[in-house]
Each structure stands twice: as C-alpha cells, then as structure tokens.
Amino acid sequence: MTRQEQKGETFRALHAGEPFVIPNPWDAGSARVLEAIGFKALASTSSGFAFTLGRLDGGATLDEVVEHARTLDRMTDLPVSVDLENGYGPSPEDAARAVVRVAEAGAVGASIEDWDPSGHLYELRHAADRIASAAEAAHRLGVPFLLTARAENHIRGHPDLDDTIARLRAFEAAGADVLYAPGLRTPDDIRAVCDAVSKPVNVLALPGMSFAEIVGAGARRVSVGGGLTWVAVNAAAAAAREILDRGDFSVLTGSPPLREWFA
C-alpha cells in the first residue's frame, strides 16, 4: 500500500468512527504543530492560505493551491483534504480537474462549493452536475479520496435552510462523500441538515456552540475554517500594537517547544 493509499484509508475510517475535529492549517509550520498536538487529519483553509500570500480569500490560483497541498502532505503523516473553493472554474470539468490536480499532489480529500466568485450561487442543477463530475473524478483515482460538497447559502447572504437541505440532498445523490453547509449557527439547524441526509456532515465551528453540542446534533466532522489563522494573526497584531503604541516589549514571549513539535 502506498503512503497516499494509507492516508486515504485512514481518512475514510475516521468518517466511519467517532465524530472528530479536522483543524485547518494555513502553512507547513501550523500543520506540523496540529499533528504534534494530536489531531488525526487536516483540511486546508482557502482564507488562511490566501493570507500567507498577502491576499484575500479567493486570491490563490489553482497552481498555488496544488503546491500548498503538496507541502501539507509532505510535511505531516496525516490525511489532507483541500479547500478547492469553486474548483477554479464554473464548469463541471473545472471541478473535476481541480480534484485530480490535488490528488496528484498527495491529498486524499477535497471540497467543492456552489458559490461562483463573480458573486452568485450556481443554479441547483448546475451545482449538482459540478459535484457529480468532481465525484466521478475522485472515485476513479485509484486511491481512497473523499469529496466534500459545500452549500454556501448561509455565508453568502442567503440563509435559506430549506434550499440548503435541497442542495445537500442533490449533492449526496450526485456522489459526494461528505456534506457541508458552513454558517449553521444553532443545534436545531445542524440537526435538520443531518436528519435530511445519510452521508457524514461537516460543520464549521463558530463561537457559541461546543463540540458536544455540534456532534449531539448529528455532525460527524467539525472544522474551524480560517479560525485558527485569525487567532494567530490577531495575537501577533495585538502584540505589535503594544510595541508600536507603548514601546512595550513584555508581550514578546519565549519560543514554543518547536524541537518537541517538529521531532
């Protein structure tokens, strides 16, 4: 069994076991720290990765994301799933191509969303066709690979739960392995989604809901999106402000245990 096959089998087994958190590293160092702390799988964050390039979310190219996926895969022994945004193109073929590209870089999972960066949700049939094409590509790779289908309603100004459920059902029928509607804010909404589908549901963690509450509502996987990136960036910015505004260097703490984490 190849290294990628082993990672793929591990990733598939995680979704068949107990609910788990899949954190979102933004670079190689954060990926290694998350592995050392004890997480079992990683998912990239488009917003966090774009930040490392000095850009806003959506600003990375597919070529850059492929190289990022390759780096995350090589730097840890954990399965890696890649945030592919809309697949870097509107067509079903674009979504399929993006899946193949990151799989060739070592990833064993990826997500495709139904939001076009020009500013609109794809019509349901077209969105489902894109997932079908991506799922077909994923399932003929020759290695275990889980496709996550994202319904973006709740983070794109259209928090229509019925439409979100209709989209996730269509994506499940199209072959998605995991379903995801970022922006669900209550256990009741999470439960409604989980009860409406049979595939594992990923939930984006938000302040105000605990892991126990999220999985109690039926979620199998919990991600944090760009959340950890912004924790790190906000902490650095706050310390920098103290230095600039007050000349206070007491905010500079010692190095973390990198020799232990990077052993």
Distance CA 259, CA 251 (A): 22
Q: pLDDT for 7-54, tens place per residue?
A: 999 999 999 999 999 999 999 999 999 999 999 999 999 999 999 999
Query: Residue holding tokens 């049979």?
Result: 198
Mean pLDDT (the chain, rounded):
98
What confidence score (pLDDT) does residue 46 get? 98
What is the rounded CA–CA span in Å between residue 111 and residue 73? 16
- Write down the pLDDT at residue 177: 98
Confidence tier at 190 by pLDDT (50, 70, 90):
very high
Q: Among all chains, which residue has been given the structure tokens 């590209």? A: 101
Radius of gyration of the chain (CA): 18
Cα–Cα nearest to 83, from 41, 129, 43, 34: 43
Could you tell me which residues come within 8 angstroms of residue 61 by beta carbon, excluding any fewer than 6 positions away? 88
User: And the tokens for 207?
Assistant: 């302040």
**C-alpha distance from residue 169 to each of 12, 53, 71, 81, 91 (Å):** 21, 35, 33, 22, 20
User: Using CA atoms, how far apart are residues 104 and 201, in angstroms rounded to an integer?
Assistant: 26
pTM: 0.97
111-165 pLDDT tens trace: 999 999 999 999 999 999 999 999 999 999 999 999 999 999 999 999 999 999 9
Interval 213-240: pLDDT, tens: 999 999 999 999 999 999 999 999 999 9
> What's phi and psi for 142, nearest 5 deg?
95, 0
pLDDT, mean of residues 77-90? 98
What pLDDT, on the 0 to 100 scale, is given for residue 142?
A: 95
Q: Are 92 and 114 in contact (CB under 8 A)?
A: no
